[in-house]
Amino acid sequence: MSDSPEQTLAPGTNETGNRDEAPRHRIEIKPSSRWGLPDGGELWRYRELLWMLILRDLKVRYKQTVLGLLWTIIQPLALMTIFTLFLGRYIQPADSSVPYYLFVLTGLVMWQFFARSLTDASTSLVVNERVVTKVYFPRILVPTSVILAGLPDFLIASLILGCFLIGSGLWPGLLILFAPLFVILTFVAAMGVGLWLSALDVNYRDVRYTLSFLTQLWMFASPIVYPAEAVQEKWGLPGTVLYGMNPIAGAIEGFRWTIFTDGPFPMALVVMSSLVTCLLFISGMYYFQQMQRTLADHL
């Protein structure tokens, strides 16, 4: 046994008598680059927040509605019925074996996803004003979450389209496996336009009032109730290339081609729409990144 007195350490002190200090973690928030793209690593760290925003949007979307998810199929079916009754006898797709109501429904399924994404994304930052102005997180998660929240509605509408196809005796071939590529193209187009609109709506609230009107015009400028071949027959390849500047035109025609496989693949239209979609997406990311620095000040 040692003769030296037993030395006891006071709680929270070390052998030198100094108080133990827990390792400090310093979080430094720096302003984002004015013209750079969003930080991919930062977006990955906030992936759980993105998932929570998506779930929240899904929960509140049909809250206090009587019909609930039925609204996802009522709207395209109602439009399909109206267009078939009033336009079906005048407009026929190139392949007469495809019923006109299926032709229209295929375009409406894609259009509803695109149009709803634009509407929800344009007002997403203003709707989430309390969160955006009080807590830091990548603001791009807000419009991204509302667009991703529209995918379940698209899947439900696609299932109804599949039921109509089977009921009509039209079984898609293996080319249907390429349909997700055009869904991704639609999503990227919605992201590009949605980022532009959401940032613009913060400074100019006129966006929300003009968007509903412009969306209706945009629908009739897209190959939903008429085939894109009608544009090519009348205006030739230059008209098709110009028509392809509509980013949703190539996605709808490509998606429809994977289902019906009628006629040649609309290569020129799809390529042009894909290029415009990429341009919208990249420019939208840059513009949103620039405006992100002052979004909270304008809300």
Tens digit of each residue's pLDDT (9 = 90 or more) over 102-123: 999 999 999 999 999 999 999 9
Phi-psi group of 30: left, alpha or beta (phi > 0 → left; psi -120 to 50 → alpha; rest → beta): beta
Instruction: Tell me if 186 sits within 8 A of 113, measured CB to CB.
Output: yes
pLDDT of residue 263: 78
Is residue 212 pLDDT above 50, yes or no? Answer: yes
User: What angle do helix axes 229-243 and 267-292 make, rounded to 10 degrees?
Assistant: 40
pLDDT confidence band for 6 (50 / 70 / 90): very low
Please tell me the distance from the alpha carbon of residue 249 to that of residue 155, in angstroms, as a whole number. 20
pTM of the model: 0.83
| pLDDT grade for 33, boundaries at 50, 70 and 90 | low
Confidence at residue 10, expressed as pLDDT on a 0 to 100 scale? 52
**Residue range 178-197: average pLDDT?**
95
Distance CA 125, CA 133 (A): 10
The C-alpha atoms of residue 131 and residue 125 are separated, in whole angstroms, by: 9
Q: pLDDT (tens digit, 9 = 90+) per residue, 61-104?
A: 777 777 777 888 888 899 999 999 888 777 765 556 788 999 99
pLDDT value, residue 30: 62
User: In the chain, what are the domain boundaries?
Assistant: 100-293
Looking at every residue in the chain, the average pLDDT score rounds to 84
The pair of structure tokens assigned to 31 is 């302003």
pLDDT of residue 1: 41
Query: Could you give the CA distance from residue 68 to residue 84 in angstroms, rounded to a whole number?
Result: 26
Task: Please write down the HEC assignment for all residues of 227-274.
Answer: CCHHHHHHHHHHHHHHHCCCHHHHHHHHHHHHHHCCCCCCHHHHHHHH
Q: Is the torsion defined by CA of 142, 146, 148, 149 positive or negative? A: positive
Phi-psi label, residue 26: left if phi above 0, alpha if psi -120 to 50, beta otherwise: beta
Given this model, what pLDDT does residue 78 score? 92
